[in-house]
Structure 1
């Protein structure tokens, strides 16, 4: 499933391509046809994201709410739109750009009240300037659930997926199975601050890179990562490979239906003890 940086990058690209323009809106597949007709040939004000949700704002406070789910894809292209190919749920088109949506789990026309309702149900998004990390901390600090589980809960923290979850915990040497309530606030703040930087870099590069300068392929004299997700990482999808930092074997196991990746030496098992004051 695309992580929050992908949706933020799409919002930027859609605004750049169509913001302030009157656009043709259609549904070649037909499933969104009635709603598309309501905003066809109207101004697309701009696009925004919150976590893994994307909102296209049209004049009159009308929004197309998109969630890509596991297989959804939204392609934004420059040039004249060619005949649609495949099951295109939504097409936006202007004289010099077009965008096609396929495979999304959600594509609905909603009003501003519904957008605010969706955003209110989400935890803070590290990519949003109005995000308050203390909202997430209030839940983490009281939870018996593992921090690895909490980071993937969009009601706790919005936009973080499996890659950023695995990588930020590695970077801070945190056992993914550690109960949230055992973290100190300064540890959470460091994780949050790192997510803000890493995800902003993901928006800029349109891929996830999480290794520090001393662990890049060039610095270590190792081959670059070959993976369809792209980017250099420490543990994500590196099961059975040597850790770039300590040489131990990276492990994986199932956690709430998703693969969890970690290094047992760099992220040693948390041993319960009395928690220091935050």
Structure 2
């Protein structure tokens, strides 16, 4: 598998892009940092977008991507997948003809630029040979993470989440080549992290204890850049894990 990190930041500041992970050029996980990271030609290659939740930093570029595609005049359509609650929020609060044109009915319903596809929780769907399964996570709004499997390889992307014991239990027997997991705040802000549905390094390592198989590689995302150095120090307390903090522009291969 080949995952291009378009963005992995928990804040929109110069030099950092918001959450977006592109699998083999066609399948995108979250859409916070597409149009500022990909050429127009590569934007046109995207066919599927899986959304973890409807917070703006994870969906912001959906409208701009749709706008770029419609002005190209090539009749391109992209499917956006998530559970019903999340897609309902996107439809109601983003693609509502007021905040932005509703590209699920433009140019018309049959030929719309965007198509919303409801998927069930914990029941895999097959896209281009990838088995993709949504698991409920713990955030302040409805939120899921995605398990992606193909040819004996697997990774899990959490999106935004606080402590999620039930989800970790369901995933505990999975052998993961990669775990892409958020750590947004330093340990001193543990209470705020729990309140806002995020992880600190301490909470992250508590989650790792629930896995029966140690993930081969762990990639940290959604760090608030203001606390990056402190979080880096806190992550180094557990050298037995292969941990890397992600930056936009990198590529994960396994």
- TM-score, with length taken from structure 2: 0.31
Between the two structures, name the one with larger relative contact order (CA 8 Å, sep ≥ 6).
2
